[in-house]
Structure 1
Amino acid sequence: MEPETTRSALRDFCAERLGTDLAADFVRLARPGFELTEADPGEAAGHSRFGGRAMLEPGTPWPMCDGFPLSLIAVLDTGALAPWLGDVLPAGTGLLNFFYLDTDSQQCDPASYELAMKYHSFDAQLGRVIAARSAHAVETDPPARSSVFDPVDWAAKPGFDFPDTWDPIWRTLDLGPKVDDLARAMPGQYVKEQLTDWSSRPGALVTDDMAFGWPKFPTGSSPMVPWGEDPTLYHHLLQLSGQDEWYIGGEGGWMHWSIPTDALPTGDFSRAIPTPDMW
């Protein structure tokens, strides 16, 4: 189904279980997202992939942290995702390159771990997102000490995603006057309990690797944004639950990148930050 047809069917599905008013408020939280899986030949979403070499415009500086090179983790081809993204991104955004300081893979430089200890795991210095116009981007070799992971092309299944049960955005939802104190304390859990057969909803996405949509938090926490900032004012860009070659936090943790929502209309990805969930 097309995005608007799917959203309409999703609204009807939720209204049957939540009532019209709460369903409308709930579906307002829905964001387009993409289930990322290893692509069969010819099924890749443009240049979208885990690993490989960065796709940068000539002359673009390689991102560094205190003079140490970050590693290219993934590329998203937003042109291939555009029909479902709608106005989330400005037209012509092109390719998004996701970087982070590799401290955990078998090929990481030993000096990276000592450098990482100087920062919080969600410090902006440890990660970057760099956009490149598709017509100008070329595969770019990394500098020495930057890890290069075997590329895995991604297929991208579109749908609509909703916040994790622990996301603070739930506090903006109006549950109505009849719910009890427990429901008000845990609105995400309350709504999900009312939505029977949730996995069969229109536009369902069931994945640990996600482009856009909402971040998920296995630790039961919430987005790790800089101290004092409001996580509800950020928009999710990419979630990786782990790959064979690379895991954030060693054997555990999910990696995310997010961006202040007010930076999206102008495509200012210099403000994007890593927002990992570690254990």
Structure 2
Amino acid sequence: MDPKSTLSALRDFCAERLGPELAARYVDLARPGFALTEAEDPGEAAGLSRFGGRALLEPGTPWPACDGFPLSLIAVLDTDAMAPWLGDVLPASGAGLLNFFYLDAESEQCDPASYDLMLKHSHYDPEVSRVIPARFTHAVETEPPARSSVFEPIPWAAAPGFAFPDTWDPAWDGFDVGPDADDMARAMPGSYVEGLLTEWSERPGALDSEDIAFGWSQFPTGSSPMLPSGEDPNRYHHLLQLSGQDEWYIGGDGGWMHWSIPTEALRTGDFRRAIPTPDIW
């Protein structure tokens, strides 16, 4: 189905279980996104979307670095292939290819100097991450500099759907659960609504994946996006979630990697303002 039809079917599904008014408020939280899985053959790939490989940059684009140390290409999203489902999430002029870079201080490839840099800056510091766009018609595979990790490329298939905020996401703050709800429901509206939605896995547009493009980020630790200077998470939009790959992961015992961006910066295509918002345990 197309996004409009899928959203309408999702609203009907929720209305049967929540009633029309609560369902309408709940579906207003839905964001279009994609479940990312390894493409089994080239025809399944979402354009050039993939984990790892070489960066796809426009000629002359400087390789991103943290204190002079090169970051590593983690993933590429081909937003041209995703644009029909995302609607007005992307800038009107498009976003092309998005290259996601991060300071690799975790993989078997990482340079020992990266450890000290990560201790200095932390996993949440914008200096250890970059998101760099490139026009599809201009982008070329770019050789990484020395000390930058290169991971085996894994093309992604992208199944479209609609995501909802994590139970603990600040998006639930002030959510109206209706006059008949008790104090516990008002305190934990996400849990309350999800408890009423039986057969949730069968909903239209189900987005069920640990690796997600756009949509909403999920936080296994029951946390929420860690933003600089106490900024409001509701003013940010999720870009990419990675639960971990065979060659690369984040954090000490584990973690899920996220990148987010102010919504108004996403709409104007200013990806210089994208930041890392990982969930580490």
TM over 0.5: yes
2:153 maps to which residue?
151
1:201 maps to which residue?
203
1:23 maps to which residue?
23
- Select between 173-182 and 6-15 the one with higher mean Cα deviation: 173-182
Give runs of aligned pairs for residues 41-56 of structure 1, distance below 5 A. Answer: 41=41, 42-56=43-57
- SS of structure 2 residue aligned to 1:87: helix
Q: Deviations over 1:183-210 (max 9, x none)?
A: 1111100000010111100000110000
2:32 maps to which residue?
32
**Cα distance in 2 between the residues matched to 1:221 and 1:79:** 32
2:270 maps to which residue?
268
> Which of 91, 94, 97 in structure 2 is aligned with 1:92?
94
**Cα distance in 2 between the residues matched to 1:109 and 1:100:** 13
- SS of structure 1 residue aligned to 2:32: strand
Deviation at 1:251, TM superposition (A): 4.2
> Which of 180, 183, 187 in structure 2 is aligned with 1:181?
183
**Cα distance in 1 between the residues matched to 2:274 and 2:94:** 18
- Select between 140-149 and 113-122 the one with higher mean Cα deviation: 113-122
- SS of structure 1 residue aligned to 2:105: coil
**Cα distance in 1 between the residues matched to 2:110 and 2:253:** 15
Deviation at 1:227, TM superposition (A): 3.0
**Cα distance in 2 between the residues matched to 1:103 and 1:40:** 29
Deviation at 1:80, TM superposition (A): 0.6
- SS of structure 2 residue aligned to 1:113: helix
Deviation at 1:16, TM superposition (A): 0.8
Change (3 A) 1:258 1:207: same
Amino acid at match of 1:63: P
2:2 maps to which residue?
2
> Which of 213, 216, 229 in structure 1 is aligned with 2:231?
229
Deviation at 1:250, TM superposition (A): 4.2
2:108 maps to which residue?
106
**Cα distance in 1 between the residues matched to 2:249 and 2:133:** 24
**Cα distance in 2 between the residues matched to 1:265 and 1:82:** 13
- SS of structure 2 residue aligned to 1:160: strand
Q: How many residues align?
A: 279
Deviation at 1:232, TM superposition (A): 1.1
Amino acid at match of 1:217: F
Quote the RMSD (CA, aligned, Å): 0.8
**Cα distance in 2 between the residues matched to 1:15 and 1:120:** 44
Amino acid at match of 1:19: G
Amino acid at match of 2:19: G
- Select between 111-120 and 100-109 the one with higher mean Cα deviation: 111-120
**Cα distance in 2 between the residues matched to 1:79 and 1:198:** 30
1:242 aligns with 2:266: no
2:193 maps to which residue?
191
- SS of structure 1 residue aligned to 2:131: strand
After TM superposition, which residue ranges in structure 1, 4 or more long, deviate above 3 angstroms? none
Higher helix residue share: 2
Deviation at 1:176, TM superposition (A): 1.5
- Percentage of matched positions with identical amino acids: 75
Q: Deviations over 1:218-249 (max 9, x none)?
A: 11111111131111111000000000000011
**Cα distance in 2 between the residues matched to 1:26 and 1:101:** 37
Amino acid at match of 1:78: T
2:69 maps to which residue?
68
Amino acid at match of 1:34: F
- SS of structure 2 residue aligned to 1:86: helix
Amino acid at match of 2:4: E
- SS of structure 1 residue aligned to 2:8: helix
**Cα distance in 1 between the residues matched to 2:64 and 2:151:** 17
Deviation at 1:120, TM superposition (A): 2.9
Deviation at 1:179, TM superposition (A): 1.1
Q: Deviations over 1:109-167 (max 9, x none)?
A: 00001011112321110111000000000000111111000000000000101011110
